[in-house]
Chain A
Amino acid sequence: MIPDEFGRVVILLGVALAFPALPLLVSYLLYLFHIRPERPDPIKHETYECGVIAEGGSWGQFNARYYLFALGFVIFDVEVVFLYPWAVIHADLAATALVKAAIFIGILAFGLAYAWKRGALEWR
């Protein structure tokens, strides 16, 4: 029997939970029956065993200057929200649609140019 709609989601949920849980369980069972050795090591307890060494806590503060760059990012982020639906069907639209999209991008470009002129793009 194939379950319908959300039944499948439930199965997927079960598989997804089992995927990380199973190896941990197996490892713990092996340790319980003294098949796996237990040798702790500070390097093993790093957040990432390889790669960059993690520094500071996760609640550390970020510099407020990043805020301005985040704002600049939002301008383009939001641009895509509107341009994507337009791009999907623009072949079916009249030529005026291109002009309207250009006006829309023009307004955003004005905002960016203003931010640039005001020095928001510089690291101060």
Chain B
Amino acid sequence: MTVDLAHYLAVSGIIFGIGVAIALSKRNVVAVLMGIELMLNASNLAFLAFSRFSGAFQDGTEPLAGHTFVVFVLTVAAAEAAVALAMAVLIYRRRETVDLDRISVLRW
């Protein structure tokens, strides 16, 4: 069995789906963040697969844009976790909970 682009994309799609499901269904801030991380990593996998299997990569003329993208996404993911956790700590200090159902002063 040879592994080609479609397999990578399938795995990335599954990871992305799991990420979306977690991010939208979990009620705990940290769990939602984990879901977001999964979504970002699914994109990373897709970027790498597209970069690796492009025609240009076989010729050696691919500028590795997909690979570069992944490095930056890793950074952004770290920053995102930092900011979101800071908010979670801020709220926890005031209300002693990080359950999203109980954080609900604002309602339309």
- Could you tell me if B82 and A64 are in contact, using CB atoms closer than 8 angstroms? no
Is the Cβ of B78 less than 8 Å from the Cβ of A77? yes
A78 touches B2 (CB 8 A): no
A64 in contact with B1 (CB, 8 Å): no
| Contacting pair B3 A71 (CB below 8 A) | no
State whether A5 touches B1 (Cβ < 8 A): yes
Which residue of the partner chain, among B3, B78, B86, contacts A78 with CB atoms under 8 Å?
Answer: B78
CA distance A82 to B71 in the complex (A): 8
The number of chain A residues touching the other chain, given as a range, is 10 to 19
Q: Is A81 an interface residue (CB 8 A)?
A: yes
Bound: A77/B75 CA distance, A? 9
Let me know if A67 is at the binding interface, CB within 8 A. yes
A59 part of interface (Cβ distance < 8 Å): no
Contact of A4 among B2, B74, B75 (CB under 8 A): B2
Q: Does B14 contact A (CB under 8 A)?
A: no
A119: chain B residues within 8 A (beta carbon)? none
Residue of B nearest to A82 (CB): B71
Kindly identify, within residues 68 to 95 of chain A, every residue whose CB is under 8 Å from any CB belonging to chain B. Answer: 71, 74, 77-78, 81-82, 85
- Closest-by-CB residue of A relative to B93 is A64
Residues of chain A within 8 A of B3, CB atoms compared: 5-6
Q: A7 in the interface, Cβ–Cβ < 8 Å? A: yes
**Minimum C-beta distance from B101 to chain A (A):** 20
Interface string of B1-16 (1 = CB under 8 A from A): 1110000000000000
For the complex, give the distance between the alpha carbons of A113 and B2 in Å.
51
The reply to whether B89 and A5 contact each other, CB–CB distance below 8 Å, is no
How far apart sit A81 and B76, CA to CA, in the bound complex (Å)? 12
Q: In whole angstroms, how far apart are the Cα atoms of A7 and B1 in the complex?
A: 7
Instruction: Please give 4 more A-B residue pairs, beta carbons under 8 A apart, in addition to A5-B2, A78-B78.
Output: A4-B1, A67-B85, A78-B75, A82-B75
